[in-house]
A and B are shown apart, each in its own frame.
Chain A
Amino acid sequence: MNSIIAIMSRELKGYFGTPVAWVFLVIFTLMSGVATFYLGNFFARGTADLNSYFSYLPWLFLVFIPAVSMRLWAEERKSGTIELLMTLPVSPLEAVIGKWLAGVIFMGVALIATFPLWASVNYLGNPDNGVIIINYLGSLGMAAVLMAIGAAMSALTRNQVIAFVLSVAVSFVVITSGTPIVLDAVRVVAPQVIVDLVASMSALTHFTYIAQGIVPMASVIYLVSMICFWLFVNVVILSIMKAD
Protein backbone atom coordinates (compact mmCIF):
# COMPACT_ATOMS: atom_id res chain seq x y z
CA MET A 1 0.00 0.00 0.00
CA ASN A 2 2.92 2.35 0.82
CA SER A 3 4.29 1.77 -2.66
CA ILE A 4 0.95 2.56 -4.34
CA ILE A 5 0.58 5.81 -2.39
CA ALA A 6 4.22 6.78 -3.06
CA ILE A 7 3.90 6.14 -6.81
CA MET A 8 0.55 7.93 -6.97
CA SER A 9 1.94 10.98 -5.13
CA ARG A 10 4.99 11.10 -7.37
CA GLU A 11 2.79 11.03 -10.47
CA LEU A 12 0.49 13.76 -9.16
CA LYS A 13 3.49 15.94 -8.29
CA GLY A 14 4.75 15.22 -11.81
CA TYR A 15 1.46 16.49 -13.27
CA PHE A 16 1.24 19.62 -11.17
CA GLY A 17 4.98 20.33 -11.22
CA THR A 18 4.75 21.41 -14.86
CA PRO A 19 2.50 23.95 -16.64
CA VAL A 20 0.96 21.09 -18.65
CA ALA A 21 -1.50 20.22 -15.86
CA TRP A 22 -2.69 23.80 -15.49
CA VAL A 23 -3.06 24.28 -19.25
CA PHE A 24 -5.02 21.00 -19.36
CA LEU A 25 -7.35 22.05 -16.54
CA VAL A 26 -8.05 25.47 -18.06
CA ILE A 27 -8.74 24.09 -21.56
CA PHE A 28 -10.86 21.21 -20.20
CA THR A 29 -12.96 23.64 -18.15
CA LEU A 30 -13.36 26.02 -21.09
CA MET A 31 -14.36 23.17 -23.42
CA SER A 32 -16.85 21.95 -20.80
CA GLY A 33 -18.39 25.42 -20.84
CA VAL A 34 -18.51 25.44 -24.64
CA ALA A 35 -20.16 21.99 -24.67
CA THR A 36 -22.78 23.05 -22.11
CA PHE A 37 -23.74 26.50 -23.25
CA TYR A 38 -22.89 26.61 -26.97
CA LEU A 39 -23.01 23.07 -28.42
CA GLY A 40 -25.73 22.01 -25.98
CA ASN A 41 -27.98 25.03 -26.73
CA PHE A 42 -28.36 25.60 -22.99
CA PHE A 43 -30.29 28.89 -23.21
CA ALA A 44 -32.51 27.81 -26.13
CA ARG A 45 -33.61 24.70 -24.18
CA GLY A 46 -34.72 26.84 -21.26
CA THR A 47 -34.03 24.09 -18.67
CA ALA A 48 -31.66 24.55 -15.75
CA ASP A 49 -29.77 21.25 -15.82
CA LEU A 50 -26.42 19.89 -16.93
CA ASN A 51 -27.75 17.24 -19.33
CA SER A 52 -26.10 18.92 -22.30
CA TYR A 53 -22.74 18.94 -20.50
CA PHE A 54 -22.92 15.27 -19.54
CA SER A 55 -24.02 14.25 -23.04
CA TYR A 56 -20.87 15.82 -24.52
CA LEU A 57 -18.53 14.75 -21.71
CA PRO A 58 -17.68 11.27 -23.15
CA TRP A 59 -16.42 12.98 -26.31
CA LEU A 60 -14.34 15.43 -24.28
CA PHE A 61 -12.95 12.45 -22.37
CA LEU A 62 -12.10 10.75 -25.67
CA VAL A 63 -9.48 13.42 -26.35
CA PHE A 64 -8.50 14.68 -22.92
CA ILE A 65 -7.98 11.40 -21.05
CA PRO A 66 -5.51 9.93 -23.56
CA ALA A 67 -3.65 13.27 -23.27
CA VAL A 68 -3.25 12.58 -19.54
CA SER A 69 -2.56 8.85 -19.78
CA MET A 70 -0.13 8.88 -22.72
CA ARG A 71 2.84 9.80 -20.56
CA LEU A 72 2.18 7.31 -17.75
CA TRP A 73 4.40 4.49 -19.05
CA ALA A 74 5.71 5.76 -22.40
CA GLU A 75 7.76 8.44 -20.67
CA GLU A 76 9.17 5.97 -18.14
CA ARG A 77 10.24 3.69 -20.98
CA LYS A 78 11.76 6.50 -23.03
CA SER A 79 13.76 7.98 -20.15
CA GLY A 80 14.82 4.59 -18.77
CA THR A 81 13.33 5.31 -15.33
CA ILE A 82 11.14 2.23 -15.76
CA GLU A 83 14.26 0.19 -14.93
CA LEU A 84 14.71 2.09 -11.69
CA LEU A 85 11.02 1.88 -10.79
CA MET A 86 10.68 -1.82 -11.51
CA THR A 87 13.82 -2.75 -9.57
CA LEU A 88 12.49 -1.08 -6.43
CA PRO A 89 10.57 -3.50 -4.17
CA VAL A 90 7.26 -2.83 -5.88
CA SER A 91 5.12 -5.30 -7.80
CA PRO A 92 3.93 -4.50 -11.34
CA LEU A 93 0.33 -4.41 -10.05
CA GLU A 94 1.21 -1.84 -7.37
CA ALA A 95 2.99 0.32 -9.93
CA VAL A 96 0.06 0.07 -12.36
CA ILE A 97 -2.53 0.92 -9.68
CA GLY A 98 -0.43 3.82 -8.35
CA LYS A 99 -0.12 5.45 -11.77
CA TRP A 100 -3.74 4.80 -12.73
CA LEU A 101 -4.99 6.25 -9.43
CA ALA A 102 -2.96 9.41 -10.04
CA GLY A 103 -4.59 9.80 -13.46
CA VAL A 104 -8.08 9.25 -12.03
CA ILE A 105 -7.49 11.77 -9.22
CA PHE A 106 -6.23 14.26 -11.80
CA MET A 107 -9.44 13.79 -13.82
CA GLY A 108 -11.39 14.16 -10.55
CA VAL A 109 -9.73 17.55 -10.09
CA ALA A 110 -10.64 18.42 -13.70
CA LEU A 111 -14.29 17.53 -13.03
CA ILE A 112 -14.29 19.56 -9.80
CA ALA A 113 -12.89 22.49 -11.81
CA THR A 114 -16.16 22.53 -13.77
CA PHE A 115 -18.09 23.59 -10.64
CA PRO A 116 -18.92 27.02 -12.20
CA LEU A 117 -21.28 25.09 -14.52
CA TRP A 118 -23.06 23.61 -11.52
CA ALA A 119 -23.12 27.02 -9.80
CA SER A 120 -24.57 28.60 -12.97
CA VAL A 121 -27.50 26.17 -13.30
CA ASN A 122 -28.26 26.55 -9.59
CA TYR A 123 -28.22 30.33 -9.97
CA LEU A 124 -30.49 30.19 -13.04
CA GLY A 125 -33.00 27.64 -11.76
CA ASN A 126 -33.66 24.66 -9.49
CA PRO A 127 -31.92 21.64 -10.99
CA ASP A 128 -32.09 18.16 -9.45
CA ASN A 129 -28.72 18.22 -7.67
CA GLY A 130 -29.02 14.52 -6.81
CA VAL A 131 -29.03 13.68 -10.52
CA ILE A 132 -26.10 16.03 -11.10
CA ILE A 133 -24.07 14.34 -8.32
CA ILE A 134 -24.86 10.88 -9.76
CA ASN A 135 -23.77 12.15 -13.18
CA TYR A 136 -20.50 13.48 -11.80
CA LEU A 137 -19.81 10.16 -10.04
CA GLY A 138 -20.72 8.26 -13.22
CA SER A 139 -18.41 10.53 -15.20
CA LEU A 140 -15.57 9.82 -12.77
CA GLY A 141 -16.26 6.08 -13.21
CA MET A 142 -16.11 6.44 -16.97
CA ALA A 143 -12.90 8.49 -16.65
CA ALA A 144 -11.46 5.66 -14.52
CA VAL A 145 -12.24 3.12 -17.27
CA LEU A 146 -10.75 5.28 -20.02
CA MET A 147 -7.69 6.05 -17.86
CA ALA A 148 -7.12 2.30 -17.38
CA ILE A 149 -7.33 1.84 -21.17
CA GLY A 150 -4.97 4.79 -21.77
CA ALA A 151 -2.45 3.54 -19.21
CA ALA A 152 -2.40 0.09 -20.84
CA MET A 153 -1.87 1.65 -24.29
CA SER A 154 0.90 3.84 -22.86
CA ALA A 155 2.74 0.72 -21.68
CA LEU A 156 2.82 -0.56 -25.28
CA THR A 157 5.21 2.07 -26.59
CA ARG A 158 7.90 4.55 -25.66
CA ASN A 159 6.38 7.11 -28.04
CA GLN A 160 3.75 9.31 -26.38
CA VAL A 161 2.08 10.26 -29.68
CA ILE A 162 1.55 6.60 -30.56
CA ALA A 163 0.24 6.01 -27.03
CA PHE A 164 -2.22 8.89 -27.51
CA VAL A 165 -3.49 7.64 -30.89
CA LEU A 166 -3.88 4.04 -29.65
CA SER A 167 -5.74 5.23 -26.55
CA VAL A 168 -8.14 7.37 -28.60
CA ALA A 169 -8.80 4.47 -30.99
CA VAL A 170 -9.48 1.86 -28.27
CA SER A 171 -11.48 4.32 -26.16
CA PHE A 172 -13.58 5.22 -29.21
CA VAL A 173 -14.46 1.55 -29.76
CA VAL A 174 -15.30 1.10 -26.05
CA ILE A 175 -17.43 4.24 -25.93
CA THR A 176 -19.31 3.63 -29.16
CA SER A 177 -19.66 -0.15 -29.15
CA GLY A 178 -23.41 0.19 -28.45
CA THR A 179 -24.07 2.55 -31.34
CA PRO A 180 -25.17 1.60 -34.87
CA ILE A 181 -21.78 2.57 -36.30
CA VAL A 182 -20.21 -0.41 -34.52
CA LEU A 183 -23.19 -2.76 -34.10
CA ASP A 184 -24.13 -2.66 -37.81
CA ALA A 185 -20.59 -3.67 -38.70
CA VAL A 186 -20.61 -6.50 -36.13
CA ARG A 187 -24.05 -7.70 -37.25
CA VAL A 188 -22.69 -8.40 -40.73
CA VAL A 189 -20.13 -10.91 -39.45
CA ALA A 190 -21.48 -12.19 -36.12
CA PRO A 191 -24.68 -13.72 -34.67
CA GLN A 192 -27.10 -11.69 -32.56
CA VAL A 193 -25.67 -13.00 -29.28
CA ILE A 194 -22.29 -11.46 -30.13
CA VAL A 195 -24.01 -8.24 -31.23
CA ASP A 196 -25.76 -8.09 -27.83
CA LEU A 197 -22.48 -8.80 -26.06
CA VAL A 198 -20.70 -5.99 -27.92
CA ALA A 199 -23.59 -3.65 -27.18
CA SER A 200 -23.37 -4.44 -23.48
CA MET A 201 -19.67 -3.45 -23.50
CA SER A 202 -20.52 0.11 -24.54
CA ALA A 203 -19.57 2.78 -22.05
CA LEU A 204 -22.04 5.12 -23.70
CA THR A 205 -24.99 2.75 -23.07
CA HIS A 206 -24.21 2.62 -19.35
CA PHE A 207 -23.48 6.34 -19.24
CA THR A 208 -26.93 7.03 -20.74
CA TYR A 209 -28.58 5.26 -17.77
CA ILE A 210 -26.44 7.19 -15.33
CA ALA A 211 -27.24 10.49 -17.11
CA GLN A 212 -30.90 9.88 -16.22
CA GLY A 213 -29.93 9.60 -12.56
CA ILE A 214 -30.32 5.81 -12.54
CA VAL A 215 -27.50 3.60 -11.29
CA PRO A 216 -28.24 0.01 -12.35
CA MET A 217 -26.14 -2.65 -10.66
CA ALA A 218 -25.16 -3.86 -14.15
CA SER A 219 -23.52 -0.48 -14.82
CA VAL A 220 -21.58 -0.59 -11.55
CA ILE A 221 -20.41 -4.14 -12.34
CA TYR A 222 -19.53 -2.97 -15.85
CA LEU A 223 -17.36 -0.10 -14.59
CA VAL A 224 -15.56 -2.21 -11.99
CA SER A 225 -14.95 -5.14 -14.34
CA MET A 226 -13.73 -2.88 -17.17
CA ILE A 227 -11.29 -1.16 -14.80
CA CYS A 228 -10.02 -4.51 -13.48
CA PHE A 229 -9.69 -5.92 -16.99
CA TRP A 230 -7.67 -2.99 -18.37
CA LEU A 231 -5.46 -2.78 -15.27
CA PHE A 232 -4.76 -6.49 -15.74
CA VAL A 233 -3.94 -5.85 -19.43
CA ASN A 234 -1.59 -3.08 -18.28
CA VAL A 235 0.21 -5.45 -15.87
CA VAL A 236 0.60 -8.08 -18.60
CA ILE A 237 1.93 -5.56 -21.15
CA LEU A 238 4.28 -4.09 -18.57
CA SER A 239 5.64 -7.49 -17.55
CA ILE A 240 6.24 -8.52 -21.16
CA MET A 241 7.45 -5.27 -22.71
CA LYS A 242 9.08 -3.23 -19.93
CA ALA A 243 12.60 -3.91 -21.16
CA ASP A 244 11.95 -3.60 -24.89
Chain B
Amino acid sequence: MQTLLELDKLYKTFGHVKAVNGISLSVPAGQVLGFLGPNGAGKSTTMKMVAGFLEPDAGTARICGTDILKDPKKAKASLGYLPEGAPAWGEMTVLGFLKFCASVRGLPDAESAIGKAVERTALQLVLGQSIETLSKGFKRRAGLAQAILHEPDVLVLDEPTDGLDPNQKHQVRQLISDLAKDRAIIISTHILEEVDAVCDRAVIIDKGGVVADGTADELRALLPGRDDATLEEVFHHITTTDAQEDLS
Protein backbone atom coordinates (compact mmCIF):
# COMPACT_ATOMS: atom_id res chain seq x y z
CA MET B 1 0.00 0.00 0.00
CA GLN B 2 1.22 3.49 -0.89
CA THR B 3 2.17 5.64 2.10
CA LEU B 4 0.11 8.84 1.96
CA LEU B 5 1.07 10.38 5.28
CA GLU B 6 4.46 10.25 6.90
CA LEU B 7 5.57 11.85 10.16
CA ASP B 8 9.34 12.01 10.30
CA LYS B 9 10.93 12.54 13.75
CA LEU B 10 8.71 15.45 14.78
CA TYR B 11 9.89 17.51 17.75
CA LYS B 12 8.22 20.48 19.39
CA THR B 13 9.09 22.22 22.62
CA PHE B 14 7.12 24.95 24.39
CA GLY B 15 9.44 26.66 26.86
CA HIS B 16 10.87 23.81 28.91
CA VAL B 17 8.09 21.37 28.03
CA LYS B 18 8.81 18.78 25.35
CA ALA B 19 5.33 18.58 23.81
CA VAL B 20 6.33 16.25 20.96
CA ASN B 21 9.47 14.23 21.29
CA GLY B 22 10.51 12.52 18.07
CA ILE B 23 7.26 11.06 16.75
CA SER B 24 7.62 9.07 13.53
CA LEU B 25 4.90 7.04 11.86
CA SER B 26 3.40 6.45 8.46
CA VAL B 27 -0.15 5.84 7.31
CA PRO B 28 -0.86 4.01 4.04
CA ALA B 29 -3.89 4.50 1.78
CA GLY B 30 -6.96 2.74 3.12
CA GLN B 31 -5.96 2.93 6.77
CA VAL B 32 -7.68 4.74 9.65
CA LEU B 33 -5.20 5.44 12.42
CA GLY B 34 -6.50 6.20 15.91
CA PHE B 35 -4.22 8.67 17.68
CA LEU B 36 -4.70 8.16 21.40
CA GLY B 37 -3.17 9.65 24.50
CA PRO B 38 -3.98 11.37 27.77
CA ASN B 39 -4.55 15.13 27.90
CA GLY B 40 -1.31 16.98 27.27
CA ALA B 41 0.34 13.96 25.62
CA GLY B 42 1.02 15.96 22.43
CA LYS B 43 -1.78 14.75 20.15
CA SER B 44 -3.11 18.14 19.07
CA THR B 45 0.40 19.61 18.78
CA THR B 46 1.37 16.73 16.48
CA MET B 47 -1.75 17.24 14.39
CA LYS B 48 -1.15 20.99 14.15
CA MET B 49 2.38 20.29 12.85
CA VAL B 50 1.07 17.76 10.31
CA ALA B 51 -1.50 20.31 9.12
CA GLY B 52 1.14 23.02 8.74
CA PHE B 53 -0.20 25.28 11.47
CA LEU B 54 2.73 24.81 13.82
CA GLU B 55 6.31 24.63 12.66
CA PRO B 56 8.23 21.75 14.25
CA ASP B 57 11.55 22.41 16.01
CA ALA B 58 12.91 19.43 14.07
CA GLY B 59 11.56 16.79 11.72
CA THR B 60 8.78 17.14 9.18
CA ALA B 61 5.60 15.62 7.82
CA ARG B 62 5.01 14.52 4.24
CA ILE B 63 1.54 14.50 2.72
CA CYS B 64 1.32 12.43 -0.45
CA GLY B 65 5.11 12.75 -0.63
CA THR B 66 5.09 16.57 -0.34
CA ASP B 67 7.00 18.07 2.57
CA ILE B 68 4.69 20.33 4.58
CA LEU B 69 7.61 22.66 5.38
CA LYS B 70 9.09 22.84 1.87
CA ASP B 71 5.87 23.21 -0.14
CA PRO B 72 3.06 23.93 2.34
CA LYS B 73 0.49 25.04 -0.24
CA LYS B 74 0.82 21.84 -2.28
CA ALA B 75 0.82 19.67 0.83
CA LYS B 76 -2.25 21.43 2.26
CA ALA B 77 -4.09 21.00 -1.05
CA SER B 78 -4.00 17.21 -0.48
CA LEU B 79 -5.00 17.49 3.17
CA GLY B 80 -8.37 17.80 4.87
CA TYR B 81 -8.02 19.05 8.44
CA LEU B 82 -10.57 19.34 11.20
CA PRO B 83 -9.02 21.34 14.05
CA GLU B 84 -9.89 20.60 17.68
CA GLY B 85 -13.27 22.13 18.54
CA ALA B 86 -14.11 22.61 14.83
CA PRO B 87 -13.62 26.39 14.79
CA ALA B 88 -15.59 28.27 12.11
CA TRP B 89 -16.65 31.85 11.42
CA GLY B 90 -19.83 32.19 13.44
CA GLU B 91 -21.45 34.95 11.40
CA MET B 92 -21.27 32.91 8.18
CA THR B 93 -24.00 30.56 7.03
CA VAL B 94 -23.00 26.92 6.52
CA LEU B 95 -23.32 27.38 2.76
CA GLY B 96 -21.28 30.61 2.84
CA PHE B 97 -18.61 28.87 4.92
CA LEU B 98 -18.32 25.96 2.47
CA LYS B 99 -18.32 28.33 -0.52
CA PHE B 100 -15.47 30.29 1.09
CA CYS B 101 -13.42 27.13 1.69
CA ALA B 102 -14.09 25.96 -1.89
CA SER B 103 -13.09 29.37 -3.20
CA VAL B 104 -9.80 29.51 -1.23
CA ARG B 105 -9.02 26.00 -2.48
CA GLY B 106 -9.82 27.09 -6.03
CA LEU B 107 -12.15 24.13 -6.66
CA PRO B 108 -13.23 24.10 -10.32
CA ASP B 109 -16.70 22.67 -9.65
CA ALA B 110 -17.45 24.13 -6.24
CA GLU B 111 -21.21 23.62 -6.42
CA SER B 112 -20.98 19.91 -7.00
CA ALA B 113 -18.22 19.51 -4.37
CA ILE B 114 -20.31 21.38 -1.79
CA GLY B 115 -23.41 19.33 -2.68
CA LYS B 116 -21.50 16.08 -2.18
CA ALA B 117 -19.93 17.17 1.13
CA VAL B 118 -23.28 18.42 2.43
CA GLU B 119 -24.95 15.14 1.53
CA ARG B 120 -22.21 13.07 3.20
CA THR B 121 -22.40 15.11 6.41
CA ALA B 122 -26.22 15.49 6.32
CA LEU B 123 -26.16 19.29 6.56
CA GLN B 124 -29.03 19.94 4.12
CA LEU B 125 -31.41 21.30 6.77
CA VAL B 126 -29.02 23.91 8.18
CA LEU B 127 -27.36 25.21 5.00
CA GLY B 128 -28.84 28.71 5.35
CA GLN B 129 -28.30 28.92 9.09
CA SER B 130 -25.45 30.94 10.59
CA ILE B 131 -22.81 28.77 12.22
CA GLU B 132 -23.07 30.51 15.60
CA THR B 133 -26.68 29.31 15.91
CA LEU B 134 -25.83 25.64 15.23
CA SER B 135 -25.71 22.90 17.82
CA LYS B 136 -22.29 21.46 18.67
CA GLY B 137 -23.03 18.40 16.52
CA PHE B 138 -23.97 20.40 13.42
CA LYS B 139 -20.99 22.71 13.92
CA ARG B 140 -18.67 19.72 13.96
CA ARG B 141 -20.32 18.33 10.85
CA ALA B 142 -19.82 21.68 9.11
CA GLY B 143 -16.14 21.40 10.04
CA LEU B 144 -16.05 17.87 8.65
CA ALA B 145 -17.74 19.03 5.45
CA GLN B 146 -15.01 21.61 4.82
CA ALA B 147 -12.36 18.96 5.53
CA ILE B 148 -13.72 16.57 2.87
CA LEU B 149 -14.86 19.25 0.39
CA HIS B 150 -11.89 18.82 -1.95
CA GLU B 151 -11.76 14.99 -1.70
CA PRO B 152 -8.33 15.02 -0.03
CA ASP B 153 -6.11 11.95 -0.01
CA VAL B 154 -5.20 12.55 3.63
CA LEU B 155 -7.58 13.45 6.45
CA VAL B 156 -6.44 14.65 9.86
CA LEU B 157 -9.37 14.89 12.24
CA ASP B 158 -8.84 16.17 15.77
CA GLU B 159 -11.58 14.66 17.96
CA PRO B 160 -14.17 14.43 15.17
CA THR B 161 -16.91 12.89 17.33
CA ASP B 162 -16.43 14.96 20.47
CA GLY B 163 -19.78 16.38 21.60
CA LEU B 164 -21.89 14.36 19.19
CA ASP B 165 -24.88 12.30 20.31
CA PRO B 166 -24.73 8.50 19.78
CA ASN B 167 -26.60 8.68 16.45
CA GLN B 168 -24.33 11.44 15.14
CA LYS B 169 -21.26 9.52 16.32
CA HIS B 170 -22.46 6.50 14.38
CA GLN B 171 -22.98 8.63 11.25
CA VAL B 172 -19.53 10.22 11.49
CA ARG B 173 -17.84 6.85 12.05
CA GLN B 174 -19.72 5.47 9.06
CA LEU B 175 -18.55 8.44 7.02
CA ILE B 176 -14.93 7.93 8.12
CA SER B 177 -15.13 4.23 7.20
CA ASP B 178 -16.56 5.12 3.77
CA LEU B 179 -13.88 7.74 3.19
CA ALA B 180 -11.08 5.42 4.29
CA LYS B 181 -11.25 3.14 1.27
CA ASP B 182 -8.53 4.96 -0.66
CA ARG B 183 -7.37 7.56 1.83
CA ALA B 184 -5.09 7.84 4.84
CA ILE B 185 -6.96 9.10 7.89
CA ILE B 186 -5.72 10.04 11.35
CA ILE B 187 -8.28 10.67 14.07
CA SER B 188 -7.29 11.81 17.51
CA THR B 189 -9.70 10.76 20.19
CA HIS B 190 -10.24 10.20 23.88
CA ILE B 191 -13.02 7.76 23.14
CA LEU B 192 -11.44 4.32 23.18
CA GLU B 193 -14.52 2.59 21.72
CA GLU B 194 -13.74 4.56 18.57
CA VAL B 195 -10.67 2.38 18.01
CA ASP B 196 -12.79 -0.77 17.75
CA ALA B 197 -15.52 1.06 15.85
CA VAL B 198 -13.53 2.72 13.12
CA CYS B 199 -9.73 2.36 13.39
CA ASP B 200 -7.56 -0.24 11.64
CA ARG B 201 -4.64 0.68 13.83
CA ALA B 202 -4.02 2.73 16.96
CA VAL B 203 -1.02 4.65 18.22
CA ILE B 204 -0.87 5.64 21.87
CA ILE B 205 1.35 8.57 22.74
CA ASP B 206 2.38 9.86 26.13
CA LYS B 207 4.70 12.71 27.10
CA GLY B 208 5.26 13.48 23.45
CA GLY B 209 6.41 10.02 22.36
CA VAL B 210 4.85 6.87 20.91
CA VAL B 211 4.36 4.24 23.64
CA ALA B 212 2.28 1.72 21.71
CA ASP B 213 1.45 1.05 18.06
CA GLY B 214 -0.71 -1.74 16.65
CA THR B 215 -4.19 -3.04 15.96
CA ALA B 216 -6.75 -3.04 18.76
CA ASP B 217 -6.02 -6.74 19.43
CA GLU B 218 -2.26 -6.15 19.47
CA LEU B 219 -2.75 -3.36 22.01
CA ARG B 220 -4.90 -5.59 24.22
CA ALA B 221 -2.11 -8.17 24.23
CA LEU B 222 0.19 -5.60 25.80
CA LEU B 223 -1.38 -6.11 29.21
CA PRO B 224 0.58 -8.99 30.69
CA GLY B 225 -1.33 -12.02 31.96
CA ARG B 226 -4.77 -10.81 30.83
CA ASP B 227 -6.69 -12.35 27.92
CA ASP B 228 -9.85 -10.28 28.49
CA ALA B 229 -8.24 -6.86 28.87
CA THR B 230 -10.22 -3.87 27.61
CA LEU B 231 -8.59 -1.04 25.66
CA GLU B 232 -9.33 1.26 28.59
CA GLU B 233 -7.29 -0.95 30.90
CA VAL B 234 -4.47 -1.14 28.37
CA PHE B 235 -4.55 2.64 27.88
CA HIS B 236 -4.41 3.22 31.63
CA HIS B 237 -1.65 0.69 32.05
CA ILE B 238 0.68 2.01 29.36
CA THR B 239 0.19 5.72 30.01
CA THR B 240 1.25 5.55 33.64
CA THR B 241 4.91 5.96 34.49
CA ASP B 242 5.37 2.64 36.26
CA ALA B 243 3.81 0.72 33.42
CA GLN B 244 6.03 2.43 30.88
CA GLU B 245 9.04 1.37 32.87
CA ASP B 246 7.69 -2.23 32.87
CA LEU B 247 7.21 -2.12 29.12
CA SER B 248 10.69 -0.79 28.54
A116 in the interface, Cβ–Cβ < 8 Å? no
Contact B77 A89 (CB under 8 A): yes
Give the docked Cα–Cα distance between A86 and B48 (Å).
10
Within 8 A of B (CB), among A1-35: 2-3, 5-7, 9-10, 13-14, 17-18
Contact A87 B76 (CB under 8 A): yes
B96 in the interface, Cβ–Cβ < 8 Å? yes
**Which one of A77-85, A133-141, A172-180, A229-237 contacts B?**
A77-85
Give the docked Cα–Cα distance between A243 and B87 (Å).
14
- Which single residue of chain B is at the shortest CB-CB distance from A83? B83
B123 in the interface, Cβ–Cβ < 8 Å? no
Give the docked Cα–Cα distance between A3 and B72 (Å).
14
- Residues in B with CB closer than 8 Å to A9 are 100, 103
Contact A88 B90 (CB under 8 A): no
Give the docked Cα–Cα distance between A186 and B48 (Å).
45
- Which single residue of chain A is at the shortest CB-CB distance from B76? A89
Contact B54 A243 (CB under 8 A): yes
Contact A6 B91 (CB under 8 A): no
A212 in the interface, Cβ–Cβ < 8 Å? no
Within 8 A of B (CB), among A180-201: none
Contact B89 A3 (CB under 8 A): no
Give the docked Cα–Cα distance between A18 and B74 (Å).
35
Shortest C-beta distance, B70 to chain A (Å), equals 13
Shortest C-beta distance, A143 to chain B (Å), equals 24
* Given known A-B contacts A18-B91, A79-B87, A87 and B81 have beta carbons under 8 A apart: yes
- Residues in A with CB closer than 8 Å to B96 are 13
Give the docked Cα–Cα distance between A119 and B163 (Å).
57
Contact B77 A243 (CB under 8 A): no
- Residues in A with CB closer than 8 Å to B83 are 80, 83-84, 87
We find that the number of chain A residues with CB closer than 8 angstroms to chain B is 24
* Given known A-B contacts A87-B81, A89-B105, A14 and B53 have beta carbons under 8 A apart: no
Give the docked Cα–Cα distance between A18 and B103 (Å).
22
- Which single residue of chain A is at the shortest CB-CB distance from B96? A13
A109 in the interface, Cβ–Cβ < 8 Å? no
Shortest C-beta distance, A75 to chain B (Å), equals 9
A120 in the interface, Cβ–Cβ < 8 Å? no
B186 in the interface, Cβ–Cβ < 8 Å? no
Give the docked Cα–Cα distance between A17 and B81 (Å).
27
Give the docked Cα–Cα distance between A10 and B87 (Å).
16
A242 in the interface, Cβ–Cβ < 8 Å? yes
Partner among A2, A5, A10 whose Cβ is within 8 Å of the Cβ of B89: A10
B69 in the interface, Cβ–Cβ < 8 Å? no
- Residues in A with CB closer than 8 Å to B92 are 10, 13-14
A90 in the interface, Cβ–Cβ < 8 Å? yes
A91 in the interface, Cβ–Cβ < 8 Å? yes
Shortest C-beta distance, A111 to chain B (Å), equals 25
- Which single residue of chain B is at the shortest CB-CB distance from A75? B89
- Residues in A with CB closer than 8 Å to B91 are 14, 17-18
- Residues in B with CB closer than 8 Å to A7 are 104
Give the docked Cα–Cα distance between A84 and B143 (Å).
9
B73 in the interface, Cβ–Cβ < 8 Å? yes
B128 in the interface, Cβ–Cβ < 8 Å? no
Give the docked Cα–Cα distance between A68 and B146 (Å).
28
Give the docked Cα–Cα distance between A79 and B87 (Å).
7
Partner among B52, B79, B103 whose Cβ is within 8 Å of the Cβ of A86: B52
Give the docked Cα–Cα distance between A87 and B92 (Å).
19
B101 in the interface, Cβ–Cβ < 8 Å? yes
Shortest C-beta distance, B11 to chain A (Å), equals 15
Within 8 A of A (CB), among B64-100: 72-74, 76-77, 79, 81, 83, 85, 87-92, 96, 100
The contact string, 1 if C-beta is below 8 Å from chain B, for chain A 29-62, is: 0000000000000000000000000000000000
Complex A-B, nearest 4 residue pairs according to Cβ-Cβ distance, in ascending order? A80-B87, A6-B103, A89-B76, A87-B51
Q: Which A residues fall within an 8 A CB radius of B? A: 2-3, 5-7, 9-10, 13-14, 17-18, 79-81, 83-84, 86-91, 242-243
Q: Which B residues fall within an 8 A CB radius of A? A: 48, 51-54, 72-74, 76-77, 79, 81, 83, 85, 87-92, 96, 100-101, 103-106, 143, 146
- 5 A-B pairs in the complex with CB atoms less than 8 angstroms apart: A2-B106, A10-B100, A83-B83, A84-B87, A91-B72
Extra pairs beyond A89-B76, A90-B73 (11, CB < 8 Å): A9-B103, A14-B89, A18-B91, A79-B89, A81-B87, A83-B83, A87-B81, A88-B101, A88-B104, A89-B74, A91-B73
